A and B are shown apart, each in its own frame.
Chain A
């Protein structure tokens, strides 16, 4: 069964929709009895960076985890809604979650490379999991992903070194390479630079600008300056609702909603 969806639209859809790689519709999500995301719908454009901002506890991370079916791994989690990747519902019952999870890559807040694996194995493990055995292909993908993650030049000398021997910023880029290795269409990033020093943060932000040329990137951040530097579109969430969504410039310079205005001006959060 071929997994990739051909892009020819079979029904009437406005030309607007074709540009959206990922569409989230009416997501309700809760865990442990707490409702974290209330009826949020968003559309994410291809080859663009969308940032999700909001104060702690607003549900942005939960929402992010709904996009690649990671939310259901939390204890007592419930979720309703649809997530369409290239038109195909990731939550359809026909397909086991593990197939859909690999279509979207994720990078977490704290770098979490596999400590017992080398740099090479860390990047390649997603491929090996999916049955790729060909050494040439593995080498090619590992190199390509490490280059995309701006890590290749620093590690190409010895890929057999353990993943944990890298610095914090390098480990995070390793995790990005690992996420990219499974050839996802979308890359989710949950506050990827919050545990890193400013120089490492800058490296990652530059990398994101490069990556967006070929990927759809959704980044959760609590750092508003980062959102302005890095993203094209921004969604502001508060207490589980999507308060406002639009181009980053507009959100920060001309917010339409009062709460948004207060947040971007730093009055709370």
Chain B
């Protein structure tokens, strides 16, 4: 038993370096705060630059006309690129959303077994795939066999990018629906598929929509899969089996041209793209995720966000 006298004696071995410890604490706090500032600066810089430089290019002509001849007086616009992006998003969602949602339903409702684990694992693998490799794959599979760059190829590539995200966000949203909801449905004698469709899906609606919108924002900005699959174009769409332009691709092409007009157009296109992507991201966060902190954290880890 350590007596008070012994305690006092042990305490003499304490070094009263509290001042130094408090100073170190303050230094760490300051450094850590600085890290946050350093990270925010580039974001602000990008947004400021894109908005100021890009708004100079904006006009109705810019948004709707086709690009002019390279180096000519009339730089034209990025109409085909905007059209292309919208069409590509639409078509890829047509493939990606149903398959992704059904896959998510599988993982959540039928996936508590080895097969489910395998699918989940490979789904994560696919989610982290370098998108340029997906582009190459679609090139070899589709473009080479069919013989031409096409909207189909581009949509297919983008659908592969969006699929794993939708699948996992769907799974997580469905998992958040309490088991008791399903059980209530079964107790009433309702079939499983009906339970899933009418009860579970509607409860998880906002999570599902969030995941889909976030994956749309993601593929809107993807360039690499498109490099190999759509060729890019200066015309509006001429059939789904022909080449097409897209915003990110056009930005890339414009960035390598030495003309000032190209540079301005590049900023303008970036402006449009950022507005599209950020408004989806911010909108989704405000509308849906504020209520569901848990979903939000899971979505982050799944690559739908960051």
Contacts and interface: CB of A to CB of B under 8 A. Distances in A.
B is bound to A: yes
Interface of A: 1, 3-4, 96, 98-99, 127, 130-132, 134, 137, 141, 144-145, 148, 180, 183-185, 210-211, 213-214
A4 B15 contact: no
Contact of A148 (B2, B14, B18, B21): B2
A144 B3 CA distance: 11
Interface stretch (B5-13, B34-42, B150-158): B5-13
Given A210-B1, A214-B2, A131 B7 contact: no
A132 B14 CA distance: 6
Interface in B2-61: 2-4, 7-8, 10-11, 13-18, 21-22
B16 A148 contact: no
Contacts of B8: 4, 183
Given A127-B14, A183-B2, 19 more contacts: A1-B16, A4-B8, A98-B18, A98-B22, A127-B13, A131-B16, A132-B14, A141-B10, A145-B2, A148-B1, A148-B2, A180-B2, A184-B7, A185-B4, A185-B7, A213-B1, A214-B1, A214-B2, A214-B4
A183 B15 contact: no
9 closest A-B pairs (Cβ-Cβ)? A131-B15, A183-B7, A130-B14, A183-B10, A132-B13, A183-B11, A214-B1, A131-B17, A144-B2
A216 B7 CA distance: 13
19 contacts: A1-B16, A4-B8, A96-B18, A98-B22, A127-B14, A130-B14, A130-B15, A131-B14, A131-B15, A132-B14, A141-B10, A144-B2, A148-B1, A148-B2, A183-B7, A183-B11, A184-B7, A185-B7, A211-B1
A4 B8 CA distance: 7
Classify chain B's interface size: 10 to 19
B16 A3 contact: yes
Nearest to A138: B13
A252 B171 CA distance: 56
Contacts, number: 47
Contacts of A214: 1-4
Q: Per DSSP, are chain A's interface residues mostly helix, strand or loop, or mixed?
A: loop
B7 to A, nearest CB: 4
A211 B4 CA distance: 12
Contacts of B3: 214
B10 A4 contact: no
A213 B2 CA distance: 10
B84 to A, nearest CB: 50
A24 B99 CA distance: 65
